[in-house]
Structure 1
Amino acid sequence: MACLLNTVREASTISVGVTAAWIGGAMLFYAQGAAAVTDIDTGAGAASGIHTGFVSLYGVIDTSVEITDPGSGWVARMDSGAYRGSRVGLHGAEPLGGGNAIVFTLENGFSSTDGSLQVPGSIFNRQAWIGASGGWGELRFGRQYSPIYIPFKGDLDAFGAGTIASGLNNLSKITPYANNAVAYLSPRIAGFSATLMMAMRDPSGKDGNGIDGYYVTASYRLDQLHLLYARQQTHGAGALRANLGGANYAFGKLRVWLSFFNGDGGAPVYHGAGGSLSAQYSFSTNARASLGYAHVRDYTTPGGSADQFSAALEYSMSPTLLLYFSAAYLANHDDSSFTLRGVNVTGLPVAYPGAPVAGVQFGVIERF
């Protein structure tokens, strides 16, 4: 969203500190022209043009208060990572000459409510990869965001697939991270770019050796129009097939998103298909308001489906400080049990199959 760093400063010395944080944060989070809607590095060539190596410290602290009624009464709780996962990380580049560089990212997720690790026993649960970057694209090896997660977190609805307001987030299912993965991120050529990833199985997962899954993302940009499609197919226990696609277009201060999604598999099992329509109006460079609607057909339940209606307000206090408010009403039909959740927040279980869910959320994001 518009809370992203919007100033990119070139590194001139190897340093860790305020200057390096600006450098690394901007390099890590730039999004090929979509910096207003996502906080994930979606492009190749992050180190091209950097002639001096750097190592930078960066982080995000996302804390919110949520009040939700899952069909049994209102419940208040404090959340971490409802909009953007709270994290701290290191990002760096070592130039090789000719516009090429070795690049790496180590990123840990944590809870800003109690300081605990997002995944106990895993110090770099979000990202731990090394790769090479240049004008030809970028090649990465290790644990990293799955390519299907990249468009999901910003290019498919007005809510950045975050907070309880995102029906896209609440009604679909994808794999956000991949272990033992090899990914290629292409440069953008004539408006087109693509990301290809293959993940290898981890024998410790008791699925044996071989290919764990593949992911493909294709994107096209022309002025204010953005089209994209992403697909994943994982194997072994909890195998999940999922597809995402859509378009967004800006009409002056108004941007509109239209998307579709479907999936089959996972753990717990998901089998659904649906779509989302949302819009965001910018009152100024600092203030924005969003509305959205999402629908899913739930094939795990005979006749099951759900509809969600959402609204959100955002205000950027500075390039690194964002205040947000979101509200949503989710209507489950028949015995469907979808609920309101955040990026790294588990939704409250519905009181009974088919129960409606309503909620509001107030949050703050600080980046460094």
Structure 2
Amino acid sequence: MKKSLIALAVLGALASAASAQTSTTIYGLVDAGIVNERGGPAGTVTKLTSGVQNGSRLGFKGNEDLGGGLSAKFLLEAGFNVDTGTSGQGGTLFGRQAYVGLGGNWGNLLFGRQYTPLHTALDQVDPFGTGLAGNIENLIPGGTGPTGVRMNNTLKYTTPEWSGFAGELAYGFGEVAGNNRANRQWGAAVGYVNGPAVVKLVHHRTENATGTDDARNSMIGGKWDFGVAAAHIAFQRDQGFGTVDNRDYMVGVSAPVGPGKVLASYIRRDDRSALNADAHQWALGYTHAVSKRTNFYTSYARITNKNGAAFTVGNATEAGTGDKAFNVGVRHLF
């Protein structure tokens, strides 16, 4: 009897230890707003939209301590449209992110569908956080290819932080038989984040479907928080497929006002090709926190297109239909 009790006690202790070494978190975000778009070829449209400031999502992430400073980790994040109840990202189950990997004091090595280092950097330096009507990616791309700001079939390494410095390297397999270049992507970033300062230097490259041409994006950007306000700046050279060649500029500001924050930015896209299809965007927004998890938001942006350029004012999840857009809504995190 005593042996049985001892055995049960040992098993219970082992189970508790295993539980303590493993953690799984369920999290999410629900965002819905009213969007009014003007200037599109089909005319003005007013709609209820999901994911205006940030894409609505349900996620699962976990970490298991394997001992010796090594851990296993995973993340599965599904996007959804709260206005219709449908799946986001074209119906892909875990279309926002899906990866598994290993981590330690040497960094993280992750396998799966992940954000491009370029999109992550733009999200950090954009006053609008790549959302709302002022989204920087209305004019400055955060990635190219079929998956846009995300890369499929990706092996990504992120370094540990050293005195504010960190880097990441991502390689997306093209998976075309007999042609390793076709549809291949890779990106690299190095950054400095310390106190009020954020500086990012990034390069992204995508091969076309035959591996005979590539699109390249190189960006340097930063943010400096002065307390009363923060200054934001970014410059990107966008060399797309064929003769596409652009210089993209962004300057912005974000300033706390009571429980909220005022956001503003100006973006210019300078087309250096023979078309000279330039564009620029002005944007103004405001977010108002009513708790640690819930905020209201509103924003307005306008794009001026020249010489046949056809850029539209979108938000975190939609490309938009016109050259002007206004939105107001609510976001809740859980």
8 Å CA contact 2:73–2:102 kept in 1: the answer is yes
Deviation for aligned residue 1:173: 1.7
Partner of 1:263: 238
SS of 1:365's equivalent?
strand
| Aligned pairs for 1:217-228 within 5 A | 217-228=189-200
Identity of aligned residues (%): 26
Structure 2, unmatched stretches of 5+, are: 1-15, 144-148
Cα distance change, pair 312–120 in 1 and its aligned pair in 2 (3 A): closer
How far residue 240 of structure 1 moved from its aligned partner, in angstroms, is 2.8
- Which residue matches 2:315? 342
Structure 1 residues 120 and 251: CA distance shift in structure 2, 3 A: closer
Task: Tell me the distance in 2 between the aligned counterparts of 1:280 and 1:131.
Answer: 35
Q: Look at both structures and tell me which one has the larger radius of gyration over its CA atoms.
A: 2
Change (3 A) 1:305 1:14: farther
CA shift for structure 1 position 82: 2.2
- Picking from 90, 102, 112, the partner of 1:142 is 112
Q: Is structure 2 residue 127 aligned with structure 1 residue 158?
A: yes
CA distance in 2 between counterparts of 1:232 and 1:188 reads: 22
| 132, 137, 160: which one aligns with 1:169 | 137
State the alpha-carbon separation in 1 of the partners of residues 229 and 268 from structure 2: 22
Instruction: Quote the offset at 1:220 in angstroms.
Output: 1.2
Go from structure 1 to structure 2 and tell me whether the alpha carbon gap of 1:343 and 1:271 turns closer, same or farther (over 3 Å shift).
farther
Deviation at 1:65, TM superposition (A): 0.8
Give per-residue Cα distances to partners, 1:148-189, cap 9 Å, x unaligned. 121122x222111211113x2111223211111111111111
> How many angstroms apart in 2 are the aligned matches of 1:101 and 1:53?
9
Separation in structure 1 between the aligned mates of residue 311 and residue 274 of structure 2, nearest angstrom: 11
- The alignment's TM-score, normalised by the length of structure 2, stands at 0.85
Compared CA separation, residues 121 and 169, structure 1 to 2 (3 A)? closer
In 1, distance between residues paired with 2:196 and 2:168?
Answer: 21
- Is 1:188 aligned with 2:161? yes
Q: Which residue of 2 aligns with 1:124?
A: 94
SS at match of 2:138: helix
Q: How much has 1:69 moved relative to structure 2?
A: 0.9
Pair 1:341–1:207, CA change in 2 (3 A)? farther
Query: Quick one: distance in 1 between partners of 2:34 and 2:244?
Result: 28
Contact 1:172 1:262 (C-alpha < 8 Å) held by counterparts: no
Q: Residue 296 of structure 1: which of 261, 269, 272 is its match?
A: 269
Q: Within 2, Cα distance between the matches of 1:185 and 1:302? A: 39
1:263 is matched by which residue type in structure 2?
A: D
CA distance in 1, matches of 2:23, 2:270: 48
Q: Which residue of 2 aligns with 1:43?
A: none
Q: How far did residue 278 of structure 1 move?
A: 0.5
- Does the aligned pair in 2 maintain the 1:13–1:54 contact within 8 Å? no
When residues 14 and 305 of structure 1 are mapped into structure 2, their CA distance, relative to the original with a 3 A threshold, is: farther
User: Bigger shift: 116-125 or 193-202?
Assistant: 116-125
Distance (Å, rounded) in 1 between the aligned partners of 2:26 and 2:164: 32
What is the rounded CA distance, in whole Å, between the counterparts of 1:113 and 1:14 in structure 2? 41
Does the 8 Å contact 2:223/2:231 carry over to 1? yes
Change (3 A) 1:208 1:85: farther
Kindly state the Cα deviation for residue 190 of structure 1 after the two structures are TM-superposed. Answer: 2.1
Q: Which runs of 5+ in 1 are unaligned?
A: 1-11, 16-50, 351-356
CA RMSD in angstroms comes to: 2.4
Alignment of 1:1-368 (within 5 A): 52-70=21-39, 73-153=43-123, 155-166=124-135, 168-175=136-143, 176-203=149-176, 208-209=179-180, 212-237=184-209, 239-265=214-240, 271-284=245-258, 286-299=259-272, 302-348=275-321, 350=322, 357-368=323-334
Residue type at the aligned position of 1:304 = A
Alpha-carbon offset, residue 343 of structure 1:
2.0
**Which string of whole-angstrom CA distances, capped at 9 and with x for unpartnered residues, describes residues 184-214 of structure 1?**
11111122110011111223xx784457121
Q: TM-score normalised to the size of structure 1? A: 0.78
CA shift in 2, pair 1:157/1:121, >3 Å? closer
Residues 301, 336 of structure 1: 8 Å contact kept: no
- Opposite residue 80 of structure 1, the aligned amino acid is S
- Counterpart residue number, 1:33: none
CA distance in 2, matches of 1:293, 1:340: 13
C-alpha change, 1:266 and 1:179, in structure 2 (3 Å) is farther
Q: 1:214 to 1:306 in 2, by over 3 A?
A: same
Aligned to 1:41: none
Partners in 2 of 1:343 and 1:271 — Cα distance?
25
Q: 1:236 to 1:254 in 2, by over 3 A?
A: same
Cα deviation for residue 231 of structure 1 reads 1.0
Post-superposition Cα deviations, 1:306-342, rounded to whole Å, max 9, x if no partner, equal: 1211110001111211211001121112221111011
Query: 2:166, 2:278 → 1: CA distance?
Result: 34
Q: AA paired with 1:201? A: G
The offset of 1:100, in angstroms, is: 2.6
